[in-house]
Structure 1
Amino acid sequence: MTGCEEPDRTVFSPKGEAGEGSLDVIMLSIYIMTFVVAVVLAIFIYVLIRYRQKPGDNSIPKQVEGSMKLEMLWTVIPIILLAILAVPTLTHTFSLAEEAPKDEDPLRVKVTAHQYWWEFEYPDLGIKTAQQLHIPTDEKVYLELTSDDVIHAFWVPELAGKQDLNPGSTNKMWIDADEPGTYEGRCAELCGAGHALMNFQVVAQEKEDFDKWVEKRKNPSSEPKTAEQKAGKEVFTQNCMSCHAIDGTQMKTKGEKAPNLTGFAERNKIAGLLENNDENLEKWMKHPEQVKPGTYMPSFDFLSDEDMDNLKAYLQSLE
């Protein structure tokens, strides 16, 4: 509760059905725990007063050791309270893992976690992107989650609870957002040196705006227009294309070693952390380890100032 950067970006301000269900379970547990604390505290205070030592009174209070009635009481009550909490918790948890309906045409996204970035693939739309998950508002989006290396956890506090991503297996959940906005996501499973910096965003858009984004991703503007951008593309080809892919070009990688950079200029974050501007882009490319410890991104501090400027111009032209 105290560790969030912004007080309104918490599980206590849900923006969708899944988040509201999680908040209901949280509040139920808080009510139960508050009740237990209040009862125990009341009994404690009563015992302190009722059985305090009085001047001249050396009598021994009635002993209740081995009382079947008391032992049944403090055994049955916790069981009842746990049952009250367990039923809605399990119901909500299993409802979030429901399969995408086959008689409809739901939006499906394959989420793959890497050390330390996120890959989002829309198999029915032929789109693959990174760091930003775009979804339409007022619609369930079904996620298939897995990991490329170690155990990670997908968590968007305002939209849904946490779900582990395990290498070699796939977990499923759905999320939704009832209003447009950019929602911050985190990895919630200690996964290495860069764990605390493994951030991503969920961008919820009105259906019309989402459809426009899909169209732009299917027809990206990836070809350089100026001499500087053309020179930057050559620098990219020589240094970056073995790991990064850009849709709409001939630059493809053999594997998803690094984020897909299609539409890079429209992202508001670099590496999920830094504000997207030329200064931070150069900082990331020259000293990635200083920005995100443990990253596999190599340093490109050997590039000349001219090559670096050209490369930045090309990357910032990708829309």
Structure 2
Amino acid sequence: MSRRRTLGAGCVALLAYLVAIPGTVAAQSPNRELIDGLEYQLLYVALPLTLFVLMILVYAAVKFHDNDDPQPTTEDPALEITWTAATAIILLFVGLSGYTVLVNPYVSPSQALESDNRSQEGFDSFEDLPDTGDEEVHVRGYQWEWQATYPEANVTTENQIVIPANEDVTFWLTTDDVIHSLFAPDLGIKQDAFPGDYTRARTTVDEPGRYDVVCAEFCGAGHSRMEGEIVVVDRETYDQWLEENEGTVAEAPDPG
């Protein structure tokens, strides 16, 4: 009995220690940092629990493999309470960890608008959308390309989305035909786009560079070719690029 209680208490203590370990992950955007951090936190709990269950399984298989007269398990209320409490703690940890990520304005940006009594639903065009206070880019998907428009300068790009580094940026997304999904793996950005509707993705990127973009929703025969890139440049380069290309279809500047 004493050994079982000690084992149970040790498992709970190990779980509490693992829950307290912070997830430190290097990432280029808060979106990716939040998602990676959640994955590491869950891994800290899942890995030792998996090993613990496997050890018990191996122990039972070796110890009782030749038992010709198995007996019912002896009741042990203390052990049952221990594993029930441990399970409750695990589920609570998973729920709270997931919730803190899901409500973050970079992962669920639409909630920030709803909290201010604003919404992206029910608008007929990009021009009707609410002001977010971020640098805004209008992104339109169609079979099988991405088109980005910068409303303040009337600049358009094809399969390239140019944004300034170290600033909050909102992508307003829609499509002309079927459902598409803007997915930038390195930045942790993934947002579906729907015909006749407008959805929002939000990020800030620390380092200038080029980040691959693909469509993550099957959209027809050319789905695999629907690729692009997010080009991140410093603010001075961004402003100069917009000024020089006003009213044109432009190529993205070199991020350096």
Query: 1:161: how far off?
Result: 3.5
* Structure 1 residues 253-291: Cα deviation after superposition (integer angstroms, max 9, x where no partner): xxxxxxxxx225x689xxxxxxxxxxxxxxxxxxxxxxx
1:72-221 correspondence to structure 2 within 5 Å: 77-95=86-104, 96=106, 97-98=108-109, 99=112, 105-218=133-246
Higher relative contact order by CA 8 Å / sep ≥ 6: 1 or 2? 2
CA contact (8 A) 2:180 2:216 kept: yes
CA contact (8 A) 1:14 1:157 kept: no
CA contact (8 A) 1:22 1:160 kept: yes
Matched, 1:61 2:71: yes
Task: Report the 3-state secondary structure (helix = DSSP H, G, I; strand = E; otherwise coil) of the residue aligned with 2:212.
Answer: strand
Query: 1:147: how far off?
Result: 2.2
Query: 1:160: how far off?
Result: 2.0
State the one-letter code of the partner of 2:183: W
Q: What corresponds to 1:35 in structure 2?
A: 48
State the one-letter code of the partner of 1:215: E
- What CA distance in whole angstroms lies between the structure 2 residues aligned with 1:166 and 1:148? 8
Matched, 1:16 2:29: yes
Under a length normalisation based on structure 1, what TM-score does the superposition of the two structures give? 0.58
Note the residue ranges of structure 1 that are not aligned, 5 or more in a row. Answer: 1-11, 220-246, 248-261, 269-319
- What CA distance in whole angstroms lies between the structure 2 residues aligned with 1:75 and 1:167? 47
CA contact (8 A) 2:189 2:203 kept: no
The 1:30/1:118 distance shift into structure 2, 3 A limit, reads: same
Task: Report the 3-state secondary structure (helix = DSSP H, G, I; strand = E; otherwise coil) of the residue aligned with 1:162.
Answer: strand
Structure with higher Rg: it is 1
Task: Point out the structure with the larger strand share.
Answer: 2
The 1:267/1:178 distance shift into structure 2, 3 A limit, reads: closer
1:262-281 correspondence to structure 2 within 5 Å: 262-264=249-251
- What CA distance in whole angstroms lies between the structure 1 residues aligned with 2:230 and 2:146? 11
CA contact (8 A) 2:132 2:170 kept: no
- What CA distance in whole angstroms lies between the structure 2 residues aligned with 1:202 and 1:138? 14
Query: 1:43: how far off?
Result: 1.4
Task: Report the 3-state secondary structure (helix = DSSP H, G, I; strand = E; otherwise coil) of the residue aligned with 2:167.
Answer: coil
Query: 1:31: how far off?
Result: 2.5
The 1:88/1:172 distance shift into structure 2, 3 A limit, reads: farther
Note the residue ranges of structure 2 that are not aligned, 5 or more in a row. Answer: 1-24, 117-129
State the one-letter code of the partner of 1:172: R
Q: What corresponds to 1:239 in structure 2?
A: none
Query: 1:159: how far off?
Result: 1.2
Corresponding pairs, count: 211
- What CA distance in whole angstroms lies between the structure 1 residues aligned with 2:82 and 2:220? 46
Q: What corresponds to 1:295 in structure 2?
A: none
Task: Report the 3-state secondary structure (helix = DSSP H, G, I; strand = E; otherwise coil) of the residue aligned with 1:189.
Answer: coil
Q: What corresponds to 1:50 in structure 2?
A: 63
- What CA distance in whole angstroms lies between the structure 2 residues aligned with 1:118 and 1:28? 35
The 1:122/1:75 distance shift into structure 2, 3 A limit, reads: farther
Task: Report the 3-state secondary structure (helix = DSSP H, G, I; strand = E; otherwise coil) of the residue aligned with 1:121.
Answer: strand
Query: 1:75: how far off?
Result: 6.0
Task: Report the 3-state secondary structure (helix = DSSP H, G, I; strand = E; otherwise coil) of the residue aligned with 2:186.
Answer: coil
Query: 1:170: how far off?
Result: 2.1
CA contact (8 A) 2:156 2:250 kept: no
CA contact (8 A) 1:13 1:158 kept: no
Task: Report the 3-state secondary structure (helix = DSSP H, G, I; strand = E; otherwise coil) of the residue aligned with 1:158.
Answer: helix
